[in-house]
């Protein structure tokens, strides 16, 4: 009996000691928490609430408009885009690189290791300066070449300057566009129609022709088309035609240049919050509700397309050519 009591006391003391030992051991970190902060997975973000939704403030600007004066100011990835060297050593020319998807692509390309030349109209100088500063902050060469793409001579000069200042060229992004809504074809003048065609169709034609002699196998050409190519709005008669043509030239040129090892693809945005809308591209009624008719109930931001432009320039996408990548908030076009 006495022996049993001793054994019992030993068991109690042993169990108590083990409990105390366990209590003093710090809790084990989860595998995710133990990883360095820079390597931890980013938190999931609900895309439906990631950016502003309509109604938006009624606002107008003189065409072509400035992103910096919009309310809210568009997100081009200035603070969010993180590069990983996917385009290291590449040299890119981007038209319309001061704002919208062109600006988002310029920022992303620079942070992926590319030197970037941007084209824009002289009236967009304020926005363009911001882009060049961001390119240089990423440690890359930024070249600003202002001028009007509606002039063939300038388009040729643009390519020459980009090649000279960058020391070559292997990515061409034709992004600049003119969009002016007209409620009736009777309101659309020949001058208007001509300006839209020259900006959206003639300019890429002139630029690509000038660039081709400089593009080596592995180079990429990217056009910016639109959901308007397949689902045109009634008040964008001329603009919608140019986007259908863009989609077509992407697919045609891809077949022509594939044997040369040059890829040609397109990006087809839905409603994206850019200066096009506030500078005559949409009525005030549509502007206030802009993007609200998409399944996500909001317009997209240029930053949300940056990754697509990077993908289409990335050598890892070497089998993708003649493709049009949509980003329309759930509309399913193209």
Kindly list the catalytic residues: 239
Q: Helices then strands (H, E): number in the chain? A: 11, 7
User: How many angstroms separate the CA atoms of 286 and 282, rounded?
Assistant: 6
Give the DSSP letter string of 35-104.
Answer: S-GGGSPPPP--GGGSS--SPPPP---STT--GGGSSSPPP-STTT----STTTT-EEEEETTTSHHHHH
Alpha helices in 70-189 (DSSP H): 100-111, 125-137, 152-166
Question: Which distant-in-sequence residues (6+ apart) come within 8 Å of 305 by Cβ?
Answer: 101, 104, 105, 267, 269, 272, 327
Tell me if residue 234 falls in helix, strand or coil.
Answer: coil
Between β-strands 171-174 and 324-327, what pairing exists: parallel, antiparallel or unpaired? unpaired
* Cis bond upstream, residue 72 (ω within 30): yes
């Amino acid at each position: 009996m006495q022996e049993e009591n001793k054994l019992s006391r030993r068991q109690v003391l042993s169990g108590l000691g083990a409990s105390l030992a366990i209590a003093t051991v710090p809790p084990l970190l989860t595998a995710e928490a133990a990883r360095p902060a820079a390597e931890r997975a980013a938190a999931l973000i609900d895309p439906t609430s990631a950016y502003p939704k309509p109604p938006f403030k009624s606002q107008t600007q003189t065409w072509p408009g400035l992103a910096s004066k919009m309310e809210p100011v568009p997100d081009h990835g200035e603070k969010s885009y993180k590069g990983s060297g996917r385009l290291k050593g590449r040299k890119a020319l981007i038209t319309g690189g001061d704002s919208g998807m062109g600006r988002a692509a310029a920022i992303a390309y620079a942070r992926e290791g590319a030197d970037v030349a941007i084209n824009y109209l002289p009236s967009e100088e304020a926005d363009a300066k911001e882009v060049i500063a961001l390119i240089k902050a990423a440690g890359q060469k930024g070249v600003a070449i202002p001028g009007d793409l509606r002039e063939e001579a300038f388009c040729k000069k643009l390519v020459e300057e980009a090649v000279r200042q960058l020391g070559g060229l292997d990515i061409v992004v034709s992004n600049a566009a003119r969009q002016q809504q007209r409620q009736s074809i009777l309101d659309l003048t020949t001058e208007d129609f001509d300006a839209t065609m020259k900006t959206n169709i003639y300019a890429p034609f002139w630029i690509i022709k000038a660039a081709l002699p400089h593009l080596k196998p592995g180079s990429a050409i990217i056009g910016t088309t639109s959901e308007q190519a397949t689902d045109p709005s009634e008040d964008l008669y001329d603009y919608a035609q140019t986007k259908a043509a863009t989609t077509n030239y992407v697919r045609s040129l891809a077949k022509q240049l594939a044997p040369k090892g040059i890829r040609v693809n397109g990006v087809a945005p839905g409603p994206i919050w850019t200066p096009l809308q506030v500078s005559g591209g949409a009525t005030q009624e549509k502007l206030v509700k802009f993007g609200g008719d998409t399944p996500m109930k909001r317009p997209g931001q240029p930053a949300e397309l940056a990754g697509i432009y990077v993908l289409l320039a990335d050598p890892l996408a070497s089998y993708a050519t003649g493709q049009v990548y949509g980003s329309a908030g759930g509309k399913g076009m193209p």
